[in-house]
């Protein structure tokens, strides 16, 4: 099992920035990718960004490309999401996810991931 804990959410004005953190623990050696998803009220959970844990390959949703950056910390089991130029439509609960299965980085459905954090709220005011 892998446990994921997110932090760093909050309230920010449009155009502002936030950095989310995800700390993984447990059987982290078995994971092949980590990612970020988000879910707004009344909407389905959607993919945001992913990074291959060993390869470092990165993939973004078109809606965040050029504004968000996913990166790994010095601690191997930590992943960050730097969010710049935030828009009100970025408001959502953001979830960290990880998977053991060796899938293409573009496998970005929620069911492609095995482990989930509890989520952290990001609210962008206009």
Token pair for residue 21? 């953190």
pLDDT in tens, 45-83: 999 999 998 888 999 999 999 999 999 987 778 999 999
Distance CA 24, CA 69 (A): 19
Residue 34's pLDDT band, with cuts at 50, 70 and 90, is: very high
pLDDT in tens, 92-103: 999 999 999 888
Which of the residue ranges 10-14, 28-32, 117-121 would you say has the lowest mean pLDDT? 28-32
For residue 54, what pLDDT is reported? Answer: 83
Strand duo 120-125 + 10-13: pairing: parallel
Q: How many other β-carbons are positioned within 10 Å of the β-carbon of residue 125?
A: 11
């Amino acid at each position: 099992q892998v446990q994921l804990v997110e932090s760093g959410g909050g309230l920010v004005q449009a155009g502002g920035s936030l950095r989310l953190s995800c700390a993984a623990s447990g059987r982290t050696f078995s994971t092949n990718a980590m990612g970020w998803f988000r879910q707004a009220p009344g909407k389905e959970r959607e993919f945001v960004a992913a990074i291959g844990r060993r390869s470092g390959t990165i993939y973004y949703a078109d809606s965040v490309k050029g504004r968000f950056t996913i990166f790994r910390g010095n601690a191997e089991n930590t992943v960050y999401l730097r969010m710049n130029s935030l828009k009100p439509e970025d408001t959502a609960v953001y979830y960290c996810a990880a998977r053991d299965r060796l899938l293409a980085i573009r496998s970005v459905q929620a069911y492609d991931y095995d482990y989930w954090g509890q989520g952290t709220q990001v609210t962008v005011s206009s």
